[in-house]
Amino acid sequence: MTALGDDVARVAPDLPLRANLSALDNIALIPLYQRHYDAADSARQALAMLDALGHATIAPLRDPDMTPAQRFVTQLARALMLRRPRLVIDRPGAMLYDVPYPDFIRRLAAQPAMSGTWDIYDFSWNQVLYPR
């Protein structure tokens, strides 16, 4: 994939979670280190993001204990914490092999708190899964 601008957040197989951290801690790293919030406020923001996505219950899970869909939600929440106007999801089929992922992504994007543009880049043979 070509270089993306500063207005883009990305979810991709090559952007893994930190395996020793919980979903909540993986997401809280964004406000903690990029916006310099304290640990408690960063955790509160991370939990609010998981809740907005309808997956607050995965907060304590570490990467090895997550299903592929839970891992994806954590990666998505981490990307959304960047608050960029455009989200790129790169090869969701490589990450979401445990759920019917076009519908799964549509449900996540339809949550009331979601905004911005979500672009999906997938393998060419999967393009039929996405409406034009």
Residue 49 binned pLDDT confidence (cut-offs 50, 70, 90): very high
Is the pTM higher than 0.85? The answer reads yes
The predicted structure's pLDDT at residue 132: 59
- Tokens representing 66 are 């997550």
Helix (H) or strand (E) holding 117, with range, is strand 117-121
Cα separation, 104 vs 82, in Å, equals 21
Mean pLDDT of 101-118: 88
Report, at the CATH architecture level, how domain 8-129 is classified: 3-Layer(aba) Sandwich (3.40)
Q: What rounded mean pLDDT belongs to the chain? A: 91
CB 126 within 8 A of CB 93: yes
